[in-house]
Chain A
Amino acid sequence: MRRYTPIAHRTAVLLGAGADADDVVQEAFVKAYRALGSLRDGAPFRPWLLRIVANETKNLHRSTGRRLSRERRADAQRAAFPAVHGTVDPAELAISQQEQDQLRGELLNLPPPQRLVVICRYLLDLDEAETAAVLGIARGTVKSRSSRGLDRLRTSLSAHPTRSEVGHE
C-alpha cells in the first residue's frame, strides 16, 4: 500500500481533489480492498486502483453538494491545481518559469475530457492503456483526446507571443 500511496495521492491532487486528496486516497484504498475480488485475474493493479481514485475524486465534487457552475468548478480545480515552484532546474526542462505558468493556465483551460487525458498521460506519466483504464474510456479516445489537447495547447501558446521562445523560430 505504501508503494501506491504517492501515485494515488498525486493522481487525486492533479485530478482536482486539492486539500481533500488525503481523504480521497484513504477512501480509495478502503474501497479497493473491498473490491479486491472484482479485480480480474491478470488485470494490472495500478490503473485499477487509480481508477477508483479518479472516481472518488469525481464523487468528491459531487458530494460537496454544491451544484457548481462550470466556471466555479474550473475555479475549484484551479485552486486545487498546485502552483509551480522552481524545484527543478528550468534549464533541465527546456521551459522557463514563465512558460510553465502560462502552460499551466492553458492546461486548465482545456475542455475537461482533453484535460483529464493530458494530465494522465503527461503529468502522471501513465501510458495509453493505463490512461484508458483509469478514465474508463477507449484507448483510441485517449489517443485522439491527447492529440487534440496537445494541439490546442500549441495553438493557444502560439497565439500569445509572451513566450520567450518565439524569437528563435
Chain B
Amino acid sequence: MSELSPTRAEMEVQVRGLGRSLVIPPPADDTVDLVMARLTTEPAPTGSFWQRLLAAIGDTGRRLLARWRLAVAVLVTVLLAVFVASPAGAGIREWLGFGAVVVVQDDAPEARTMPSAGSSVAAGLPAGTSEVSLPQARSMVTFGVGVPAALGDPDRVGVSDDRRVVVLQWSDAAPAEGQASPPVQLDQIAGSPDPYYVKKVFEDVEFTTVNGREAVWLKQPHPIVVVDPSGVERTQTARQSGPSLIWQRSGVTLRLEGVAALEQAVTIAESVQ
C-alpha cells in the first residue's frame, strides 16, 4: 500500500481523539423516570415466553396480580429471577434494578452437583422436608393435596418445614419401555400467586396444557429458583431437576419430575385428584 500520511493506526488514534473531544449534550435527566412511567402501563414483556408464562400462571393468579401491588412485585421478581439467573441477566438486573422490585439471584444451585444421568430426582426427600403420611400431610397444610390417579398412592410423602410445599414420591412408577425408571416426584406449592418455581431458562421451554390450562414443560435439567411473597428466595427447596412439567391447579403450583415423556407427564398431571 502506498505510504499515506498519517498511517492507518495514527488515523485510528485521531478518530478516537475526535470522539473524546466531541461535546454531546447529556441525556435528559428524566429519561429513566419517563421510561419507568411508561413501563408501569405495560403488564409484562410481550415476548411469547412472557405471555405464555403469564397465561400459565392462570386466571386466579392474574386476578390477584391485578389487585395486589405486592403480588405484582412478586411476579416481577419471579420474572426477573429468570433473567438474573441466566448469563444474560447481569445487564438486565442493573437495567431494571429499581423501586420496589426485589431481584433475586440464584447462586446456590450452581454449586450443587448435577444429577447423574437416569436419576433426575435424588433418592429421598429434599432437605428441609420431613417425611409424614399422606393424611398427616393433608392435615398439616392449608391447601388441598392432590394425588394423580395414574400413579396411585405415593411411596413417600414429605412436608416442608414451613408447610408450604408437599412432596410426593413414587420409587418405580411409570416404567418406560420396560426399563426401570427414575423416581417420580410431584411437588405441590402452596398458594397463588406465591411462591412459584421458576426455571432458569427460556430456550428449552415447551408449552403445553393440563386440563386445558397452560403448562410449562422443561426437557433439560435446570436449577430451580423459588421466591416467596416477600421476595426472599427459598433456598431450601431450590435444587436440580430433570425434565419437569409445571402447572397450576386450584391455586396450587405443581411440578412433576422424573417422567421422561411429555405425553405421559400430562396424562399423570391430568389425573391429579
Most chain A beta-carbon contacts within 10 A, residue among B20, B21, B39: B21
Candidates A1, A94, A95; contact of B95 at CB < 8 Å: A1
Residues in B78-104 with C-beta less than 8 Å from chain A: 83, 86-88, 90-92, 94-96, 98
Interface of B is mostly: helix
Also in contact, A95 and B19, with CB within 8 A (given A3-B95, A151-B4): no
Candidates A35, A44, A90, A100; contact of B91 at CB < 8 Å: A44
Pair A30/B38 contact, Cβ less than 8 Å: yes
- Complex CA gap A10/B98 in Å reads 23
Q: Hey, which chain B residues are within 8 Å of A155, CB to CB? A: 4
Q: Is the C-beta of A162 less than 8 angstroms from some C-beta in chain B?
A: no
Min C-beta distance of A124 to chain B, whole Å: 7
Also in contact, A122 and B47, with CB within 8 A (given A13-B24, A154-B8): no
Pair A41/B203 contact, Cβ less than 8 Å: yes
Q: Is the C-beta of A140 less than 8 angstroms from some C-beta in chain B?
A: no
Pair B45/A14 contact, Cβ less than 8 Å: no
Give B4-18 as 1s and 0s: 1 = Cβ < 8 Å from A's Cβ atoms.
111110011111111
- Complex CA gap A165/B13 in Å reads 14
- Complex CA gap A37/B132 in Å reads 41
Residues in A20-55 with C-beta less than 8 Å from chain B: 21-22, 25-26, 29-30, 33-46, 49
Q: Is the C-beta of B177 less than 8 angstroms from some C-beta in chain A?
A: no
Which chain A residue lies CB-closest to B8? A150
Pair A33/B17 contact, Cβ less than 8 Å: no
Pair B15/A45 contact, Cβ less than 8 Å: no
Q: Is the C-beta of A2 less than 8 angstroms from some C-beta in chain B?
A: yes
- Complex CA gap A95/B35 in Å reads 39
Q: Hey, which chain B residues are within 8 Å of A36, CB to CB? A: 45, 47, 50, 83, 92
Which chain B residue lies CB-closest to A45? B91
- Complex CA gap A41/B87 in Å reads 6
Pair B46/A103 contact, Cβ less than 8 Å: no
Q: Hey, which chain A residues are within 8 Å of B48, CB to CB? A: 37
Candidates B7, B23, B98; contact of A84 at CB < 8 Å: B23
**Size bracket, chain B contacts:** 35 or more
Interface of A is mostly: helix
Pair A151/B5 contact, Cβ less than 8 Å: no
Q: Is the C-beta of B42 less than 8 angstroms from some C-beta in chain A?
A: yes
Pair A37/B87 contact, Cβ less than 8 Å: no
Give A94-133 as 1s and 0s: 1 = Cβ < 8 Å from B's Cβ atoms.
1100011001100100000000001000111100000000
Pair A84/B22 contact, Cβ less than 8 Å: yes
Give B136-148 as 1s and 0s: 1 = Cβ < 8 Å from A's Cβ atoms.
0000000000000
Residues in B179-209 with C-beta less than 8 Å from chain A: 201-203
Pair A10/B24 contact, Cβ less than 8 Å: yes
Q: Hey, which chain A residues are within 8 Å of B98, CB to CB? A: 1
Min C-beta distance of A145 to chain B, whole Å: 13
| 28 sample A-B contacts, Cβ–Cβ < 8 Å, listed by A number | A1-B35, A4-B95, A5-B32, A6-B26, A22-B28, A25-B27, A29-B35, A33-B45, A34-B45, A37-B50, A39-B88, A41-B203, A44-B88, A49-B95, A84-B18, A85-B21, A88-B21, A95-B17, A95-B18, A95-B21, A100-B17, A103-B15, A104-B18, A123-B16, A151-B8, A157-B6, A157-B11, A158-B4
> CB within 8 Å of A: which residues of B?
4-8, 11-28, 31-32, 34-36, 38-39, 42, 45-50, 83, 86-88, 90-92, 94-96, 98, 201-203
